[in-house]
Amino acid sequence: MSEISKSILSSENDTSICTLFEGDFHLGLAAFLNSLVRAGFAGTVWAGYRGALPPWVDQLKRVDQGQADEFRVADQMRVVFMKLSTNIHLTNYKPEFMLNLLANEARDSKYLWYFDPDIFVQASWSFFAEWQSNGIALCQEIANNILPSDAPQRMSWIRDAASIGFKDPKPLHHYYNGGFAGVPKACSGFLEDWKRLIEMAGSKDCDLMRMRHGSMEFAYYCMDQDALNIAAMYSKHPLSTLGPQGMGFVRGNVMMYHTVGDKPWRGSLLLNALKGVPPSDGFKYYFTQVSSPIRAYSRSALARKKLACNIAAFMGRFYRRG
């Protein structure tokens, strides 16, 4: 192992981060990694992927460590790319990926965070470092945020979970986003439950190669996210949660921006604005996170995109759908 790699590993403070991506999500990954550098994270990001490595890896210095695709993003942070062979949708692979890391590459980590690659960190990493000491970290969704303990969907979950041995659910009242979780290694049983419950959804004729199933009337419309929420109901470990403002879904104390739905790197910001959909705060934040240390766009392309974002935001002050 190189001296650079040893230095980085020694500064991890027992914490690792992981994510999963494919296709054009490398553009979100670049912004995510840059946001971590700005937040002050020191350590390793494990990036599982399908397809090709991002085109921007040529900007980074490779760390010589056998055959690993390991690169230094900043002096205090490295990213290790791990090519995956799974056929299921990557969103349904999250707990298995985290469990594999904790058993192997990240076995020395006491805490492991998962972030979707369309999340960009706003708060300092010291906030997350303090948060992780409280237990399993989750953030509420904006869609179906209020989900009472006696909701029909929860009743279906309880019946199905009981059929595979789950007992004594906690009466939770909120619905959590599946794109983010912070899990202490001591609470890895939560990940095992999450994985098992995704597999249970698969046994209910859900196609795990897809992100969603059927309509929102179905008990497992978002398989991984619904399974996460079921696991939270049965968790024997403490939860520590944020409201939807934590992901920038509503205004408030934003700790990270999660650009669900449309992505800031896709489509035309100006055409969207003409349709009454101006760029969200998350979109605007994305374009502040794509230039350093990783340049996701050429300088001219980024200047055009920032200009379009500013114009679209101005249009949104006068015309907004709904």
6-57 residue pLDDT tens: 444 444 569 999 999 999 999 999 999 999 999 999 999 999 999 999 999 9
DSSP H stretches of helix in the chain: 3-10, 26-39, 94-103, 125-131, 152-162, 189-203, 223-234, 269-274, 281-286, 299-316
Check residue 84 and give its pLDDT.
Answer: 97
To which residue do tokens 């392309």 refer?
A: 301
First to last CA, the chain: 56
CA distances from 104 to 3, 189, 278 (A): 21, 16, 44
What rounded mean pLDDT belongs to the chain?
93
Percent of the chain with pLDDT over 90: 85
Please say whether the dihedral angle defined by the alpha carbons of residues 179, 90, 108 and 120, taken in this order, is positive or negative: negative
3-247: which CATH number, 3.30.360.10, 3.40.50.1980, 1.10.3720.10, 3.90.550.10? 3.90.550.10
Domains of the chain, by residue range, sit at 3-247, 262-316
At 64, the pLDDT band (50, 70, 90 cuts) reads confident
Distance between CA 225 and CA 183 in Å, rounded? 16
The answer to whether residue 322 scores a pLDDT higher than 60 is: yes
Check residue 205 and give its pLDDT.
Answer: 84
Check residue 215 and give its pLDDT.
Answer: 79
Which tens digits make up the pLDDT trace of 273-303? 999 999 999 999 999 999 999 999 999 999 9
At 67, the pLDDT band (50, 70, 90 cuts) reads low
Six-digit token string for 303 = 């200047």
Which tens digits make up the pLDDT trace of 74-100? 999 999 999 999 999 999 999 999 999
Which tens digits make up the pLDDT trace of 204-223? 888 888 888 877 788 899 99
Distance between CA 240 and CA 89 in Å, rounded? 27
Check residue 219 and give its pLDDT.
Answer: 86
Interaxial angle between packed helices 189-203 and 152-162, expressed in degrees from 0 to 180 and rounded to the nearest 10: 100
Six-digit token string for 129 = 């470092």
Check residue 3 and give its pLDDT.
Answer: 43
Which tens digits make up the pLDDT trace of 123-165? 999 999 999 999 999 999 998 899 999 999 999 999 999 999 9
The answer to whether residue 232 scores a pLDDT higher than 80 is: yes
Instruction: Evaluate whether 315 touches 278 at the Cβ level (below 8 Å).
Output: yes
Distance between CA 217 and CA 222 in Å, rounded? 11
- Mean per-residue pLDDT for 226-234? 98
Q: Is residue 47 classed as helix, strand or coil in its secondary structure? A: strand
